[in-house]
Amino acid sequence: MKKRPRVALLIETSNSYARGLLRGIHAYIREHDGWATYLLEQGRGDAPPPWLTEKWQGDGIIARIENGHIAEVVKRTGLPVVDVSSGNVAPDVPRVITNGAAVARLAAEHLAERGVEHFGFASDDRFEWSLRRGEQFAKIVQELGFSCDVLGEHKPLRVQPDWDQEERAMTAWLRRLPKPVGVMACHDIRGLQLIQVCRRIGLAIPDEVAVVGVDNDEILCSLATPPLSSVIQDTYRIGFEAAQLLDQWMAGKRPQVETLIEPLGMVTRQSSDVLAVSDPEISKAVRFIREHACDGIRVEDVLRVVTVSRRIFEHRFKKLLGHTPHDEISKLQFQRAKQLLAETSLPLTVVAQRVGFQHAEYLSVAFKRRFGISPSEYRDEHMR
């Protein structure tokens, strides 16, 4: 009988990001011959389970290597190991992770499109990847011509959270930021905390503080008041790719050190649904476009809600947002199309109708022209 590889999964099950990784791993196992997996309930960054340190007789490991202890133990086993943490604690271990710079860029551009000119980043100083994400966000904001104030930089990493201390620091930080301000939280939990503090000290969201998180944990995002906008990381694909690489390594082919997976996009909710510009006509137009972009509207429809001529409107729109009203409509249509392709099995004809295209063929041509691949190819790569 063919031996089934024995694989340890050192991945917590307590958050949506980790569960997304596990779904991708499970999908790979289901599509292939299958592994015997070892998974225990544990928290993020917990010490490795005792059975792993006691000369476990396995064949491979997929782990979120969040600290030096885990790195030391998994490397000591001498087994093939694939890391799915962005912490880079063990840089010599092959890893599959999200493209952190792309995540930061999505958030920065999302906030910049809403017209904010002041930016902040709220880190979680327990994690190295969070500090690095803050650096990436600040760099991109600077490229856009603005500056960014980072909460949590230049601090030593902590082991345990202290919410009382964090709340005091966050309160002082939020109060001194110039308003209106767009703030990226390192993850959705931090975004939820930001919103709670803003409500407690009387800062209006999104008018004074627009907030975006990362991970699109629907429960956390919905618990926030108002609901939290968030960047969608492709955790399913990260897990799937990690399992594939480990399988290849267990067969004798060691993978490259790092594989980056692009985020899927941004889900806009009320926490950032603001256009912080002084031009009421443009603000009104953008709100109309966001509400109706997937209804098949054209620029002519937008002109009906403003009181200026088309020439003046398009000039002011492009000056403030950096692109045309038509570009804004198209961007929102394609964002929704990508989301439907990745998260549903709807036929392409239905996807086309849902995003405002009359014919699936036209959507296919436009999608491939924009992204370089067909809708079906995109679905094959990103379907959950």
- Cα separation, 266 vs 326, in Å, equals 20
Residue 239: its pLDDT value, please? 96
Q: What is the pLDDT of residues 318-332, one digit of tens each?
A: 888 888 999 999 998
Q: Per-residue pLDDT for 368 more than 60?
A: yes
Q: What is the pLDDT of residues 103-128, one digit of tens each?
A: 999 999 999 988 888 999 999 877 88
Q: What is the pLDDT of residues 59-81, one digit of tens each?
A: 999 999 888 888 888 888 899 99
Residue 31: its pLDDT value, please? 87
Single pTM value for the model: 0.73
- Cα separation, 364 vs 374, in Å, equals 6
Count CB-CB contacts under 10 A for residue 21. 28
- Cα separation, 213 vs 250, in Å, equals 36
Q: What is the pLDDT of residues 262-311, one digit of tens each?
A: 999 988 888 997 665 567 788 788 878 888 999 999 999 999 999 999 99
- Cα separation, 310 vs 4, in Å, equals 66
Domains, the chain: 6-98+235-263 (3.40.50.2300), 100-233 (3.40.50.2300), 280-382 (1.10.10.60)
Q: Quick one: which of 31, 64, 33, 15 has its CA closest to 238? A: 64
**Strands (E) located in the chain:** 6-10, 36-38, 60-63, 81-83, 95-98, 119-122, 148-151, 181-185, 209-214, 229-232, 258-261, 265-267
What is the percent of the chain where pLDDT is above 90? 57
What is the percent of the chain where pLDDT is above 70? 94
